[in-house]
Amino acid sequence: MSIWGRFGEFISRVTSGAISGVADVVEAVRTAFEGDPELRRKVAFSIAMIALSAKMAKADGIVTQDEIRAFHEIFSVPREQERNVARLYDLATADTAGFEAYAERMAGLCGSGERNCRMLEDILDGLFHIAKADGYLHEREVAFLHRVAEIFAIDERRFDGILARHAVRPADDPYAVLGVTRDTPFETVRRRYRELVAENHPDRLIARGVPEEFLAIANDRAAAINIAYEAIERGRVSA
């Protein structure tokens, strides 16, 4: 059965029972897929993106067609599973629990349970992709994303790098994209660049549980990293 088949089966089962919100759905993932960590990561990623994007839309106050398109760039949802995705989205929108509660549960569910696994950064990156789709990143969205990053234990340097990659700060700061400063020795810059390239290799992304559609976004991320490194290298050589 495909990941979406398992996702739909799981959502249908848990939402037809006595649950009070998405936090209960997340907790159910822990037990339902306890014997299959890989499937648990994939289902957890999907639930995190759907639930947190719903909460982010509520913070912004409006869902645009551009944001819907951006969501479908991350997920190619089979027609027969659209109802289950909508069910989870509506549950998150109506849930009185704040998004912090979701983010906390997601952080504890990530991978093998470590606080700052790379999948959390992928989730944050996907939320940025959706937030900026309408061509404008609202202050409330930035505050939302920053708070999610704090809960995910993503430090300021890495958060600033994601901000810079998505061009919500002066886009021509290659140092911010790589998460280094202008006085960082070039060997350290090169090492940091190689770390980021390795972290974003498609095989590693798939292993972290992201859907195949997300690789297109990851390619944009990799391109931004390469452009930033090349700009720094040119600047250091000509200096």
The pLDDT tens digits for 138-191 are 888 889 999 999 998 888 888 988 888 886 454 458 898 898 888 899 999 999
Q: Which two tokens stand for residue 4?
A: 């979406």
Q: Which two tokens stand for residue 180?
A: 């280094």
Read off φ and ψ for residue 192, nearest 5 degrees.
-65, -40
| Contact yes or no for 52/218 (Cβ under 8 A) | no
**Does the pLDDT at position 116 exceed 50?**
no
Distances (CA, A) of 9 to 40, 43, 80, 83, 139: 14, 11, 11, 12, 37
Note the pLDDT tens digit of each residue in 10-64.
Answer: 888 887 766 667 778 877 887 888 788 778 878 888 888 888 988 888 776 777 7
Helices (H), the chain: 3-15, 22-32, 37-60, 65-74, 82-94, 99-109, 118-131, 139-151, 156-165, 174-178, 186-199, 202-208, 214-238
Percent of residues, the chain, with pLDDT higher than 90? 11
Nearest CA to 210 out of 195, 194, 221 is that of 221
Note the pLDDT tens digit of each residue in 200-211.
Answer: 888 887 777 677
pTM: 0.79
- Report the C-alpha gap between 224 and 177 in whole angstroms: 7
| Contact yes or no for 120/107 (Cβ under 8 A) | yes
